[in-house]
Structure 1
């Protein structure tokens, strides 16, 4: 990406990302033009092209920003489990909140996933970003099981895929039927027994709760 470092660049990038999240969610990834993103951000096309080459590149910048938000939230939740009477309930409560940004990201990421399914190059890039995110989630899962005094008996990369599918599927159903299903309802019902079923207690480990 041909871009020079200036004092204003972080602010420009932040404005572009914020505007892109809103416009992509409102109009769809394919239906949004670069001009519309620039207009929403109050910036010129030159400002866009000094930071990104394409809409896809802009999406992946949004992906990385959201991924860091997810990891920070999960890390804080795992840390908050220490000394909690119900550590998994604490974890689920802290990681299941759906704010405005999370809602918008879900709309965008769902549509981009369909775009990637139809476009092999985009699919390869999306899979690589997903892989890097899962690698970080796996490290946090290792800490989580250690906090619980348990040793997992399944592949943690596969578990990361499963919990992502559970989160995204539950969120979709909750957004369609908000009066029927809370975003964290399925996780609260099924994650605690699942964690127990796919792990064993470490010898002499103190059990939380």
Structure 2
């Protein structure tokens, strides 16, 4: 009798994951993290519960896979924007214009905001969310430092705190825009205030004599 084939991801697994994550984003945003069931997510993705449990142990685990996917794309967009702005006259002012919000961003905000409230009441979820948030902030902090350096500026406050403030403005602005889209267009708060805040929270680098 021949040796058993080793178990591992098949060619179809990335497609399965992608469809489950897309279905989860849609269902969590439409019905809420707790109200959306595993059955509904699988039905929307076109799979059985078996496909879910071959990839995830729980809805929490599914959320964090979705978190990594969505925030990974955010980091990619910010990194691309920072690269494009390198050497321009106003990299701080140009950043927000290159990070316009789309429908997927709005859906993700609905999901992540609800899960954050859930984590505030659940110590285990909070611990895992904190670890994921820290990794995201570390990447964003590095990009923010690059942007400031290209603008000839140095942070005058703790860089992690500054990154937290940038994230808070973006998320808070999006929350208000979802409720009052006609009075506060998406991205408006960032457009007006982020360049001002980044300049206020940094100082010009000393120019060394030639």
Q: Report TM bin, short chain.
A: over 0.9
Q: CA deviation at 1:200?
A: 1.3
Is 1:133 matched up with 2:121? no
Alignment check: 8 A CA contact 1:80 1:91 kept: no
Q: 1:200 aligns with which of 189, 197, 203?
A: 203
Q: CA deviation at 1:90?
A: 1.7
Q: Which has the higher mean CA deviation after the structures are superposed, 16-25 or 85-94?
A: 85-94
Q: 2:41 aligns with which of 37, 41, 44?
A: 37
Q: Tell me the TM-score normalised to structure 1 length.
A: 0.92
Q: Which has the higher contact order (CA 8 A, sep 6+)?
A: 1
Aligned equivalent of 1:51: 55
Alignment check: 8 A CA contact 2:92 2:148 kept: no
Is 1:186 matched up with 2:189? yes
**Number of equivalent positions:** 202
Aligned equivalent of 2:127: 124
Structure 1 segments unaligned to the other structure (5+ residues): none
Q: Please state whether the residue corresponding to 1:84 is helix, strand or coil.
A: coil
Distance 1:86 1:152 in 2: 17
Distance 1:161 1:101 in 2: 22
Q: Tell me the TM-score normalised to structure 2 length.
A: 0.92
Q: Please state whether the residue corresponding to 1:15 is helix, strand or coil.
A: helix
Q: CA deviation at 1:89?
A: 2.7
